[in-house]
Amino acid sequence: MVIVPGHAICLRPDAPDLTADDAWALQPYQRGEGGCYLEHIREGIRWAAEDGHRWLVFSGGYTHREHPTRSEAESYRQVAEAQGWWHCREVAARTLTETFARDSYENLRFGLWRFYDALGAWPAEVFVVGWAFKQQRFQWHAAALGWPAERFHYIGVNNPPDLAAAQAGESQALRDFLADPHGRQGRLSAKRHARNPFGRQPPAHWQSLLPH
């Protein structure tokens, strides 16, 4: 499985310039990042295309109250469609969307659940494609979920324009996840609540699925 975590909703997947801020629903700190998200999508497709047994999962929920009909994951898939899957159209038939995740931990956990729900088995290997500076965080998530380190691979594609600010925020996130690996309390819980304006919850039966 190849997971591409979402970071924002693409409002205009068929826009002539997907690097422009007005193509995305961005927070102030995300200005100028649209082109980076585009690279995440393309790289995820490339990794999925390398092996006909790999499934691609776009992960990201309905995170903006102003856009109730759009999820990050589904908008990423729409971008892929608009770009013709970068000449890897066969990947479309092996692509899933996971539309409940509100943070990086849930990108991985819910991505695994979505894969299991669709295919009835856990993936042999997991690849996560995203920000280079988040590698350690995702490795911690995999460990918290009991996912074997030798079956987890992180593909760091790029970094945001303001890397210094991103790294400062990442230091705090790492401390929070170290103290609370599943993100159930404090800042991590509050962030999830803020990124779930419609109160959506994943299917109840997902709670009983534990990856091995």
If pLDDT is split at 50, 70 and 90, which confidence band does 4 have?
Answer: very high
Phi-psi region at 146: left, alpha or beta (left = phi > 0; alpha = psi -120 to 50):
left
pTM to 2 decimal places: 0.96
Going from N- to C-terminal start, the domains of the chain cover 2-204
**pLDDT in the model for residue 210:** 60
**pLDDT in the model for residue 206:** 79
pLDDT tens string 47-67 = 999 999 999 999 999 999 999
pLDDT at 83 > cutoff 70:
yes
pLDDT tens string 131-189 = 999 999 999 999 999 999 999 999 999 999 999 999 999 999 999 999 999 999 999 99
Contact in structure between 62 and 80 (CB atoms under 8 Å): no
User: Residue 212 and residue 166: Cα distance in Å, rounded?
Assistant: 32
CA torsion 193→195→199→201, rounded to 10°?
Answer: -90
Please list, residue by residue across 52-91, b when 16 or more beta carbons sit within 10 angstroms of its beta carbon and e when fewer do. Answer: eebbbbbbbbbbbeeeeebbbbbbbbbbbeebebeebeeb
User: Residue 36 and residue 115: Cα distance in Å, rounded?
Assistant: 25
How large is the C-alpha radius of gyration of the chain? Answer: 16
For domain 2-204, the CATH class is alpha beta
If pLDDT is split at 50, 70 and 90, which confidence band does 204 have?
Answer: confident
Q: What would the mean pLDDT of 85-100 be, rounded to a whole number?
A: 98
